[in-house]
Amino acid sequence: MAGREFLEVLGDLSVEEAEAIGTRQTEEGARAGRPGGGGRFDLLEELGIHQSGGVTDEHFMEEALRQARKAAAKGEVPVGAVLVVNGAVLTKAHNQVEELKDATAHAEMLVVTAAAGEIGDWRLNEATVYVTKEPCPMCAGAMVLSRVKRVVYGASDPKGGAAGGALNLLQFEGLNHKCEIRSGVRAEECRDLLRDFFKKQRVAEDVGGK
């Protein structure tokens, strides 16, 4: 994260909150033999802002949003996804259900399948999947079976989401793998894409029905 972005994060805190976090990080750093604490990266973790290779979740979600916009331009439900390993994008995709005439061609399914082909292994233990909408049960199941480490999504889906919205398959008791979850990353932008798409769909249906 650049210095300017870091200061913008700090700007969202009160002076008291920033000082309290800074003091705690310094004390923890001293106990761990790191005088001064871990600097801004410890503070980012304290704020719930994760980094991969020095790049934030918000950055990778921007690429997922770009993919979602491509889907919208094709008349597909605007959901995009990227799969990241070791701080680099390995695969990226958008919904292609209509284009491929395949109900399983969701963005998450496509990036997981492509990533397995890229690395030559179905196990994606070090992967993080960024997706603009909360995964459905099919996609959540695929990511659990693929041993995806983290799932980061934007817009929640309280009716059909399987990452805590309607149910939580990503962390389902009894399964032999559970994914870490972070929700709400750039959620407003992700929601706006979906809302605009379905609004246009309804208008087109109304016009076509007259």
Catalytic residues: 108
Distance CA 82, CA 120 (A): 18
Distance CA 63, CA 43 (A): 25
Q: Which DSSP category does 92 fall into?
A: E
Distance CA 28, CA 34 (A): 8
Distance CA 76, CA 132 (A): 14
Strand runs labelled E in the chain: 51-52, 55-56, 80-85, 88-94, 127-133, 150-155, 180-182
Distance CA 107, CA 116 (A): 14
